[in-house]
Structure 1
Amino acid sequence: MKKKGGIILAVMLAVLVAASSVAYLGVGEDKQFSVSQIEQGLDLRGGVEIVYEADKEDVTTEDMSAAISLLQGRLDWNGWTEAEAAIEGTDRIRVQIPGVEDAEEAIQEIGQTGQLTFLDGDGNVLLTGEMVKTASKEVGATSTGGASMPYVSLEFTDEGADAFAAATAANIGKMIAIVMDDNIISAPTVQSVIKDGKATITGNFTGEEAENLAALIRAGSLPFNLEVIQMQNVGARLGADALSTGIQAGLVGISLVLVYMLFAYRILGFAANWALLIYIGLDFIALSACGITLTLPGIAGIILSVGMAVDANVVIFERIKEEIAAGKSLRASTKIGFSRALPAIVDGNITTLIAGAVLFYLGSGTIKGFASTLIVGIVISMFTALVITRLIVNGLIYVGVQNPVLYGVVSIPNEDIEVEGGDQE
Structure 2
Amino acid sequence: MLQIETWKRALIWALVVAGLVLAAPNLFYNRVETHNDAVKSIETSGATAELEAQAAGWPAWLPSNLVNLGLDLRGGAHLLAEVRVADVYQSRMESLWPEVRDALREARDEVGTIRLQDSDPGTLRVRISNPDGMARALEAVRALAQPVVSLTGAGATDIEVAGEGSDLIVQLSEAERQASDDRTMQQSLEIIRRRIDEVGTREPTIQRQGADRILIEVPGLGSADELKAIIGTTAQLTFQAVESRTTNPNEQVGVGTELVPSMTEDGVYYVLEQAPVVTGEELTDSQPSYDQNGRPAVTFRFNPSGARKFGDYTAQNIGSPFAIVLDNEVISAPVIQSHISGGSGIITGNFTIEESTNLAVLLRAGALPAGMEFLEERTIGPQLGQDSIDAGKLATSVAFALVLVFMFATYGLFGLFANIALILNIALIMGVLSLIGATLTLPGIAGIVLTVGMAVDANVLVFERIREEMKSARGPARAIELGYEKALSAIIDANLTTIITATILYVMGSGPVRGFAITLGLGIVTSVFTAIWVTRLLIVMWFDRRRPKTLEI
Would the aligned equivalents of 2:288 and 2:298 in 1 still touch at CA under 8 Å?
A: no
Alignment match of 1:157 (pick from 253, 276, 288) = 288
Would the aligned equivalents of 2:289 and 2:299 in 1 still touch at CA under 8 Å?
A: no
Greater shift after overlay, 295-304 or 84-93?
84-93
Question: Whose radius of gyration is greater, 1 or 2?
Answer: 2
**How far is 1:33 from its partner?**
5.2
Alignment match of 1:262 (pick from 408, 429, 437) = 408
Distance 1:278 1:16 in 2: 9
Matched position secondary structure for 2:496: helix
Q: Quickly say closer, same or farther: Cα 1:364–1:68, change in 2 above 3 A.
A: farther
Q: Which residue of 2 aligns with 1:376?
A: 522
Would the aligned equivalents of 1:298 and 1:369 in 2 still touch at CA under 8 Å?
A: yes
Q: Which residue of 1 aligns with 2:371?
A: 225
Alignment match of 1:29 (pick from 49, 59, 70) = 59
Q: Does residue 1:298 correspond to 2:467, yes or no?
A: no
Alignment match of 2:81 (pick from 52, 62, 77) = 52
**How far is 1:72 from its partner?**
4.1
**How far is 1:264 from its partner?**
1.1
Distance 2:437 2:211 in 1: 30
Q: Aligned partner of 1:201: which letter?
A: I
Distance 2:198 2:393 in 1: 33
Distance 1:68 1:290 in 2: 23
Q: Quickly say closer, same or farther: Cα 1:215–1:47, change in 2 above 3 A.
A: farther
Alignment of 1:24-423 (within 5 A): 24=27, 28-29=58-59, 37-56=66-85, 62=182, 66=186, 67-68=188-189, 71-72=192-193, 74-80=195-201, 82-87=203-208, 91-111=212-232, 156-158=287-289, 164=299, 175-176=306-307, 191=314, 200-201=323-324, 207=328, 217-218=364-365, 220=367, 222=369, 224-400=370-546, 402=548, 404=550, 406-407=552-553
Distance 1:352 1:189 in 2: 66
Greater shift after overlay, 347-356 or 257-266?
347-356
Q: How many residues align?
A: 358
Distance 2:312 2:324 in 1: 9
**How far is 1:99 from its partner?**
0.6
Deviation digits for residues 226-265 of structure 1 (CA, Å, limit 9, x no counterpart):
2234433211101100100110110010100000011111
**How far is 1:389 from its partner?**
0.4
Q: Aligned partner of 1:94: which letter?
A: L
Q: Quickly say closer, same or farther: Cα 1:287–1:262, change in 2 above 3 A.
A: same
Deviation digits for residues 379-408 of structure 1 (CA, Å, limit 9, x no counterpart):
21111111100011112222226364621x
Matched position secondary structure for 2:378: strand
**How far is 1:271 from its partner?**
1.0
Distance 2:533 2:275 in 1: 54
Distance 1:400 1:277 in 2: 24
Greater shift after overlay, 237-246 or 319-328?
319-328
**How far is 1:40 from its partner?**
0.6
Would the aligned equivalents of 1:279 and 1:380 in 2 still touch at CA under 8 Å?
A: yes
Q: Which residue of 1 aligns with 2:106?
A: none
Distance 1:53 1:394 in 2: 60
Identity of aligned residues (%): 32
**How far is 1:327 from its partner?**
1.3
Distance 1:309 1:98 in 2: 31
Distance 1:317 1:33 in 2: 37
Distance 1:17 1:159 in 2: 51
Matched position secondary structure for 2:485: helix
Distance 1:343 1:286 in 2: 26
Distance 2:371 2:364 in 1: 13
**How far is 1:357 from its partner?**
2.1
Q: Which residue of 2 aligns with 1:127?
A: none
Matched position secondary structure for 2:299: helix
Would the aligned equivalents of 1:82 and 1:98 in 2 still touch at CA under 8 Å?
A: yes
Q: Aligned partner of 1:158: which letter?
A: S
Would the aligned equivalents of 1:141 and 1:148 in 2 still touch at CA under 8 Å?
A: no
Q: Aligned partner of 1:349: which letter?
A: N
Matched position secondary structure for 1:385: helix
**How far is 1:74 from its partner?**
4.4
Distance 2:452 2:78 in 1: 31
Q: Aligned partner of 2:288: which letter?
A: T
- The structure with higher relative contact order (CA 8 Å, sep 6+) is 1
Distance 1:365 1:30 in 2: 33
**How far is 1:85 from its partner?**
2.8
Distance 1:64 1:321 in 2: 64
Deviation digits for residues 114-155 of structure 1 (CA, Å, limit 9, x no counterpart):
9x9xxxxxxxxxxxxxxxxxx96879566xxx6699999998
Q: Aligned partner of 2:473: which letter?
A: G
**How far is 1:71 from its partner?**
3.6
Give the alignment's Cα RMSD to 1 decimal.
4.7
Q: Aligned partner of 2:306: which letter?
A: M
Would the aligned equivalents of 2:77 and 2:219 in 1 still touch at CA under 8 Å?
A: yes
Q: Aligned partner of 1:45: which letter?
A: R
Would the aligned equivalents of 1:53 and 1:228 in 2 still touch at CA under 8 Å?
A: yes
**How far is 1:90 from its partner?**
5.5
Q: Aligned partner of 1:380: which letter?
A: T
**How far is 1:104 from its partner?**
2.6
Distance 2:506 2:63 in 1: 22
Distance 1:260 1:68 in 2: 50
Matched position secondary structure for 1:53: strand
**How far is 1:68 from its partner?**
4.5
